Structure 1
Amino acid sequence: MKKKYIGFTLAIVTLLLIGCMIIAGCGKEKAADTTPTTRLIVDMADREVTLPVEINRIAAVGPVPVINTFIFTMGEGDKIVNGLPGFAKSERWKYQTVFAPHLANMPTIQESRTEPNIEELVKLEPDVVFTMDEQMAASIDNANMNAVFLSWTEPEDVKQTIALVGKVLNKETLASEYIKYFDETVAGIGKAVSAIPQEKRPRVLYANMQSMTAPHEISDWWIETAGGQSVAKADRGGQQLAFSMEHLLKWDPEVIVVSTPEDLKLINEDPRFQKISAVANKRVYPTPMGAHVWAHRTAEQPLAIMWAAKTFYPETFKDLNLEQEIIDYYKKFYSKTLNEEQVKEILSGEPKI
């Protein structure tokens, strides 16, 4: 009788242990099922976008080189799955593929600065698509992809854009470091030029001399942040201001920053421009060209401000080691170490293949 009781007890204990193991196993399976695979973010059009927790494939459509600068700044350029548009495959845009070499072999899904081929975009299976066009964002959503809208209307919107891109790409700490760097750069340059009276600040024009335009309203901001007076600001009614020779003579800029090296040659050789103070005093400079044109909207804006300040006031900023700042910037944010020759090439505004 005692043996039967012991056997019965062992059987009960065994069944209980098996039950516990089954329950424990079910519990583990249940925990795995509740692990989040998606997250919700709000983009710059106040759209709610559901994204995967991990982002491994990124696409940029529209003004691709501009958007790429934000992705590069978060050190995630190697995750971009679409190549450069047709217009950005020239040597002028060389540093897009220096910072993300694989882009040279990625498929082109748009030739112009506007609409991509949605069917080709779908084939790339991006986890997220960045765009600066709300209608394009809607089209991407309709194709069952995740569109995140970025907006840049005011100069300092670059910080909000970086913050959002950092959140999307799980690089919020690096985004915060960029914003701190941006603010400290602006404050440092501002403090250095604050003692310079307005009347002693150089009259500056950023121009495309071939089209006789003052493009990109943001140039007014970086010119004035660096301690200059933007001669085009008062007449500007939008992003681009067309001007005549009469305007140019009236403004008589003391410093001219041109958009391309070809402009530099044109303005120095064309006899019409020789009476302009900037030309007569040899103070005409090409804008540097890194991942994007520094004088335009780009995440490289802090570098543009430092370059402009040192260009306007070489003595005031004689201790600013711009070359080292450039090397440090791209190493920290782009995860790319440049050599001295590359830095000189960027500052020349004339990348060569």
Structure 2
Amino acid sequence: MMKSVKSCITLCVIMLSLLVLGGCGSKATNSTPSTSTTPPVERTIVDMVNKTVKIPVEVNKIVVTCYGGATNEIVVLGAADKIIGQPAQENFPQLMEMAPQFKNIPDVGSFDNINVEEIIKLKPDLVVASVTSPTGNKKLEEAGIPVVSVLTGRATIDGLTKEFKMMGDVLHKEKEAAALSDFWERRLKLIKDDVAKIPAEKLKKVYYMLGTPLKTDGSAWGQEFITIAGGINVAQKVDNASLISVEQLLKWNPDVMIMSSNIGPTKNSFIKADDLRNNPQMSNLNAVVNNQMYQCPIGAFWWDRPSPESILGFMWLAKTLQPDTFANINLTQETKEFFQTFYHCTLTDQQIKSFMNAEAAQKP
């Protein structure tokens, strides 16, 4: 009897062992390799100098080291709160009113004149910098900070709309960037379609005065700004931001002068029509004799320089050069719509009037 019990116990132990071993073998046969579920911490984008830049998946802290509308791009895409350092923006009181936090963030320099040590202390996720500041940008890259280059004053319309998309990708604001590009596309088409109907003999010769009477922005942006709005750019063969001679200006003898106050980051400098009238070398120009001299408006940025807002500048210039053709453009309504849609700001008629008379608006 005892032998029978022991045999039974032994048999049970053997069977149990086989079941356990069989189970382990089954698990080994049917198991799949484990995969990591750790999300990526970096991604890549291609900036406006066609450079591949590694940036964090989520960008929360941005330093801007240029003007040229870079700050405005970030603001209209809904990411103003991500800017933790940038050049002072007192040139643009409307922008400061809409984003009062900009009064309290550090100015760490601009373009090639930057304070790399202070930028490092801010620990930004990336720096938005100009294509025109290779020296400063290189210092930041050497410090291990991702640098996303933007076109600033070197932009064309095509380049600027591509930049909107690129910044939308950086900020995960793709829908907002697409809406901005769509606004531009629809307004530009309306302007171009009407300009195409204007007889060549009615196109006015235009000189774009950039900060000082003998400085102009000829090719690239200046060329598009004038020709799309229905003018002939007398300086189309002159490089951007170049000085010309009085003799050259007299030879061109423009019908219209548009006068930009953009001379750099320190202050706005407004050219006055009376200064041209009282200048014996310029007083006989057609634009001066016929009082066709116009200061470019300033909203949250200079309307005549590349930025999200400069589509309003195209509409302003079209109405200025060809008032009969563009009588249908309600610039006040267009400005209100742009600011409401992209800046989420409701403007008054008086604020818009101040844009058109920026010199008076900026006096203390």
TM-score normalised over the length of structure 1? 0.82
> Do residues 114 (structure 1) and 115 (structure 2) align?
no
| C-alpha distance in 2 between matches for 1:274 and 1:137 | 44
CA contact (8 A) 1:81 1:106 kept: yes
- Give CA-to-partner distance per residue, 1:189-214, whole Å, 9 cap, x none: 01111111222101111114745111
Larger Rg belongs to: 2
Specify the code of the residue in structure 1 equivalent to 2:145: M
Letter in 2 for 1:52: P
Distance 1:106 1:188, change over 3 A: same
Aligned CA RMSD, in angstroms, stands at 2.4
Instruction: Pick which of 99-108 and 156-165 moved more.
Output: 99-108
Distance 1:253 1:209, change over 3 A: farther
Residue 153 of structure 1 deviates from its aligned partner by 4.5
Q: Determine which of 316, 340, 356 is the counterpart of 1:347.
A: 356
What code does the residue aligned with 1:240 have?
Answer: A
Shift of 1:44: 2.8
Partner Cα separation in structure 1 for residue 326 and residue 180 of structure 2: 22
Map 1:175-190 onto structure 2 (within 5 A).
175-190=177-192
Give the distance between the partners of 1:153 and 1:315, measured in 2 at CA.
30
Q: How does 1:141-152 map to 2 (within 5 A)?
A: 141-151=141-151, 152=154
SS at match of 1:50: strand
Q: Contact 2:69 / 2:306 at 8 angstroms: preserved in 1?
A: yes
* The 10-residue stretch of structure 1 (171-180 or 133-142) with the greater mean CA deviation from structure 2: 133-142
Does 2:55 correspond to 1:57? no
CA 1:75–1:266 in 2, change beyond 3 Å: closer, same or farther? farther
What is the distance in 1 between the residues matched to 2:308 and 2:318? 18
Point out where structure 2 has 5 or more consecutive residues left out of the alignment: 1-33, 262-269
Change (3 A) 1:278 1:59: same
Contact 2:156/2:224 (<8 A) preserved = no
Residues 76-121 of structure 1, C-alpha deviations (whole Å, 9 max, x = no match)? 2232111424xx54xx3323323322111111111x5433101101
Whether contact under 8 Å (1:42, 1:48) holds in the other structure is: yes
Q: Look up the match of 1:242.
A: 243
Given the alignment, which residue of 319, 327, 335 partners 1:318?
327
TM-score, normalising length from structure 2?
0.79
**Counterpart in the other structure of 2:161:** 159
Of the three residues 200, 203, 217, the one matched with 1:201 is: 203
Query: Relative to 1, partners in 2 of residues 1:38 and 1:144: Cα closer, same or farther, differing over 3 Å?
Result: same
Counterparts of 1:1-353 in structure 2, within 5 Å, are 34-61=38-65, 63-85=66-88, 88-89=89-90, 92-110=91-109, 113-133=111-131, 134-151=134-151, 152-208=154-210, 210-215=212-217, 217=219, 218-234=221-237, 236=238, 238-260=239-261, 261-350=270-359, 351-352=361-362
Q: What is the CA-CA distance between 1:45 and the residue it aligns to?
A: 3.3
Which residue is 1:25 aligned to?
none
Task: Name structure 1 gaps, 5 residues minimum.
Answer: 1-29
Question: Could you tell me whether the CA contact under 8 Å between 2:218 and 2:236 is conserved in 1?
Answer: no
- Say if 1:77 and 1:99, in contact at 8 Å, map to a contact too: no
Cα displacement (A) at 1:162 = 0.8
Q: Distance in 2 between matches of 1:212 and 1:248?
A: 8
User: Aligned letter for 1:204?
Assistant: V
Shift of 1:306: 0.5
For residues 180-237 of structure 1, give each alpha carbon's deviation from its aligned partner in whole angstroms, at most 9, with x where no partner exists: 2212221110111111122210111111474511136411211000110111114x1x
Greater shift, 50-59 or 320-329, is seen at 50-59
Check the 8 A contact 1:256/1:278 in 2, yes or no: yes
Identity %: 29
Gap change, CA 1:65 and 1:123, over 3 Å in 2: farther
Query: SS at the partner of 1:330?
Result: helix
Q: How many residues align?
A: 316
